[in-house]
Amino acid sequence: GRSIEFQIAAKQGTEIGVIKKGGNTPFVLTISKLSEKDQAYFDTLADGGDLAAIKTSAERAQKLRGRVANWNPQFYNAEKEAAPLGLPLLTACLITDDPESQRVERNVLFDRDFRNWANLNLTLCLLKLDSTETGKISSISAGENRKIASNFGVGNELAFILSIPGHSPVQVSADGFRDAQSAIDAVNKVILKPSLGSATSAVPVPDPERTRPDKGG
C-alpha cells in the first residue's frame, strides 16, 4: 500500500539492495514484501551487484544513526575517532587565502548534502597548510600541518587523502570536488575500489603531545 522510489544497487536471490531516491543510505528489501507486479519484475532481473557490501553499509548506517561528522583540525584525534568506528578518514589539505580552497571549503566540505553523507561514511580532518592563526577550523600550528601533509606527499597544494582501514592512504583527485555530489561520487569510487586513487606515502601516527594545541592558545 506504500510507494517509494529507489535505485537498485544489487540483487541476490530473493533480496535486493536499494538506495532510496534523494538519499545515500542503502537498505535491503525482501522481494516477497513487494507488490505482485514488482515481484514479477525482479523475477526477470538477473542477480548482480555486491549485496554483501550493501548489507554491511545498511548495518553501519543503523549503528551510526544520529552521528554528526565534524571536521577535526587535529590529525591525531581524527585517527583516534576513525579507529573504533572502522570508517575511512578523509583528510582535506587546504591553502589559506587560496580562492579555490575557499570555494571547496564553503561549497563542498560544509555543504549539507556532503555532511549528511559523511555522518554515515567518513571521519573528517581539515588541515590549513599555511595558516598561523587559531581559528574555528585549525588550532594546530601551520608547521605541524605541513609536516602531516608532507608525510602524505602533499606540498603547498589543495589535496584530499583517503585513509581506508586495511589499505595504504590514497589521494583522491581534487577535480572530483566540484560540488557536494561529485565529491561524494569521487570518494565513494575509491572506497569501493581503493586502486582508483593515487598511492601516497604512509603517515606515521603523530606524537599526541606535538599535535595538540599549545596551552597558551
pLDDT of residue 23: 64
* Residue 137: per-residue pLDDT: 44
Residue 75 identity (one-letter amino acid): F
Q: Order the strands of the 26-30 sheet from edge to edge.
A: 6-12, 15-20, 26-30
Angle between helices 112-121 and 180-192 (to 10 degrees): 20
Q: Give pLDDT tens digits along the chain (217 positions).
A: 788 888 888 899 999 988 877 666 788 889 999 999 999 998 898 998 888 888 877 777 777 777 899 999 989 899 999 988 888 999 999 998 899 999 999 999 999 999 989 998 899 999 988 744 544 444 446 778 888 999 998 988 899 999 998 888 999 999 999 999 999 999 988 887 877 777 776 665 444 444 444 444 3
Residue 23's alpha-carbon distances to 4, 8, 142, 145, 188, in angstroms, are 12, 13, 37, 34, 14
What does DSSP say about strands 15-20 and 170-172: parallel, antiparallel, or unpaired?
Answer: unpaired
Sign of CA dihedral 149, 155, 161, 164: negative
Place of cell 578523509: 90
- What pTM did the predictor assign? 0.68
